[in-house]
Chain A
Amino acid sequence: MADSHAVTHHSALAHHFDNMEQQREAGSLGMWVFLLTEIMFFGGAFTAYIVYRNLPSAPNKPSISEAFVAASNTLNVKLGLINTIILICSSLTMALAVYYAQTGVRRKQIIFLLLTMVLGTAFLVIKGFEYADKIKHHHIPGKQFEFAEPFQHQAQIFFTIYFAMTGLHALHMIIGIGILLVITWMAWRKRFSPEWHAPVELFGLYWHFVDIVWIFLFPLLYLLGYHLHSGGGH
């Protein structure tokens, strides 16, 4: 669309930048530095998961990695798969929202921002059903926890990690949808142009990052023992 070469004094250019390109690159670098802190944050949780799965089992105690497989088998693979596909779709709609921000097609930009929000919400609703199912089956770690022996104790470790990691992930989704609301409103108010749409672009990075976290969570949490009952679910 608009060929914006050599925009020397765009109204959105902050005075401490030489030009729009430098401003844009600085913004994206800053966002990435934030995302690196997020990588280390989730990385810590993944490290906990890896350590427990690799922990040598104590003599006469059931192995933790076998408990992980048994506990993983109680998760609903079908819902996990649907949610994975929903998140990938939402990444596509987000990428397209950024594309239409860059090309200045406001109507389509708003449509794809709304679609991203709808898909994000659908993910959370399905996650809610999964959590409700866990509550029903007493799979919440704590006094009420129930799990088939011999893994009564060890399975709690899996579910603690499961709730911590999917919970943190869901929290990121909720925050993301909140920010999406603001960005959509800004798009509605015609605040973005092909020259300046930093919030859309930088939020896109965040949204894709949350997608990547789920890309790892899905196989590591849901699929550990899927081969044991191929075809049948719980």
Chain B
Amino acid sequence: MSEKIVPKRVYFTIFGLLIGFTLLTVWVASRDWGAFNTIIALTIAVTKALLVALWFMHIKYSNRLTQLVVASGLFWLVIMVALTLFDYRTRSMGR
């Protein structure tokens, strides 16, 4: 029951994907996708963050408790952003 040792091959694969997504995000930004600009950029960023968290930070191999704690942290972050936006985005309504 020793700690899970992730093979080096996995790290190199994730590294390659991260570099690929970085170049993709710059290429995507060089064209205008209208209202989707930010959505595309954020989708790529979230994907990269997940790659780092799951494999580099070993969340994929962690126990359930750690995974639950991390997920709940992200949930609280979403609450902070979403409820703040509910406020600011609706302030000019009805004027």
**A: which residues have CB within 8 A of B?**
3-5, 21, 24-25, 28-29, 32-33, 35-36, 39-40, 43-44, 46-47, 50-51, 54-56, 77, 81, 84-85, 88-89, 91-92, 94-96, 99, 102-103, 194, 204-205, 208-209, 211-212, 215-216, 218-220, 223-224, 226-228, 230-231
Contact = CB atoms under 8 A, between A and B. Distances in A.
A71 to B, nearest CB: 15
B55 to A, nearest CB: 8
Contact of B45 (A55, A77, A96, A219): A219
Contacts of B22: 81, 84-85, 88, 218
A32 B66 contact: yes
Contacts of A230: 30-31
Q: Does more than half of chain A's interface fall in helix, strand or loop, or is it mixed?
A: helix
Contact of B18 (A39, A47, A56, A88): A88
25 contacts: A3-B2, A24-B3, A29-B65, A29-B66, A29-B69, A40-B80, A43-B80, A43-B81, A50-B84, A50-B85, A51-B85, A54-B85, A55-B88, A56-B91, A77-B26, A84-B22, A91-B15, A91-B52, A92-B11, A92-B15, A94-B56, A208-B56, A211-B56, A215-B45, A231-B30
Nearest to A48: B84
B2 A5 contact: yes
A93 to B, nearest CB: 10
Contacts of A84: 22
A19 B31 CA distance: 55
A169 to B, nearest CB: 14
A30 B86 CA distance: 33
A36 B18 CA distance: 23
Contacts of B62: 28
B29 A227 contact: yes
Interface range on chain B: under 10, 10 to 19, 20 to 34, or 35 or more?
35 or more
B2 A215 contact: no
Interface in B37-95: 37, 41-42, 44-45, 48-49, 52-53, 56-58, 62-63, 65-66, 69-70, 73-74, 76-77, 80-81, 84-85, 88-89, 91-92
Contacts of A215: 45, 48-49, 52
B54 to A, nearest CB: 11
A29 B68 CA distance: 10
Given A29-B65, A51-B88, A212-B49, 4 more contacts: A25-B63, A50-B85, A223-B41, A227-B30
B63 A47 contact: no
Contacts of A24: 3
B18 to A, nearest CB: 5
Interface string B1-38: 11101101001100100110010011001111000010
Contact of A227 (B19, B31, B63): B31
Nearest to A24: B3
Contacts of A77: 26
Contact of B70 (A36, A43, A46, A219): A36
A205 to B, nearest CB: 5
